[in-house]
Homo-oligomer: A and B are copies of this chain.
């Protein structure tokens, strides 16, 4: 599994994103952005909603790599239709990635097979550019027969690995474009009693190829107690079926105590799966 950089660092955790940042336009789209992940370990619950923008990321990348650059972020969004996938992506980055979206009618849904659609947008926050790519999988889980409906998704991921391998084996290796998927947001229905057989089969097919972050979709339609029970149940089933979901990497031993604490909290949160309130 590939490692992602940590979400934020302690010195930046109270910093709000600059929503008035100048909009940068590229071929595929434009927007401003804010990351809604919270990670303050010592604050009480009601103050725990401070936003942490991705504008803090380059500092860390800079510290690690010694150079500034445009960040690339490639998400794979998998789940049945109607679970709020597009809404979550739009909320997460305060953008409108699906301007020309057309919801298929019933007949189109019946005829539809699973395919992958790539949306790319360049967003800017505090002068930091992120090239956000979201790969959608319309039709997944909607058919009567969903056998191997995860194959197109698996193929897409494999193709990106193959492309990168070919580019790295080539002569001109200075400008390789890395299109490998960083993260797969797997949306779980809030209705079922835990994971469905389709969820298990799909996650098992993908878990060794991409970092899976399970998301309980539309969790605001559940009570707090239900959310807790569902998280526990899903976590149990994920362990039972040996599915490897994304685990935050261990932080460096020379980091300060606050950072280590925050890191622990983030790990604990992802162990319980994320929830989406759309």
Contacts and interface: CB of A to CB of B under 8 A. Distances in A.
A192 interface: yes
Interface string A71-98: 0000000001111000000000000000
9 contacts: A82-B189, A105-B194, A106-B241, A109-B193, A109-B197, A110-B200, A144-B146, A144-B147, A191-B218
How many copies of this chain does one complex carry? 2
Contact of A218 (B194, B197, B221): B221
Given A142-B197, A197-B142, A218-B221, A192 B240 contact: no
Residues of A contacting B: mostly: loop
B237 A106 contact: yes
A140 to B, nearest CB: 12
Given A110-B200, A147-B145, A221-B218, A193 B103 contact: yes
Interface string A98-112: 000001111101100
Contacts of A195: 106
Nearest to A79: B191
Given A82-B192, A82-B193, A105-B194, 17 more contacts: A80-B191, A82-B191, A83-B191, A104-B193, A106-B197, A106-B237, A107-B240, A110-B197, A142-B196, A144-B145, A144-B147, A144-B201, A145-B145, A145-B146, A189-B191, A190-B191, A218-B221
Interface string A200-227: 1100000000000000011001000000
A196 B240 CA distance: 30
Interface residues of A, number: 35
Interface in A212-264: 217-218, 221, 237, 240-241
A143 interface: yes
Contacts of A197: 106, 109-110, 142-144
Contacts of A217: 191
Interface of A: 80-83, 103-107, 109-110, 142-147, 189-198, 200-201, 217-218, 221, 237, 240-241
A110 B200 CA distance: 9
Contacts of A192: 80-82, 142
A240 B106 CA distance: 9
A271 to B, nearest CB: 18
A202 to B, nearest CB: 9
Most buried by B among A83, A191, A193: A191
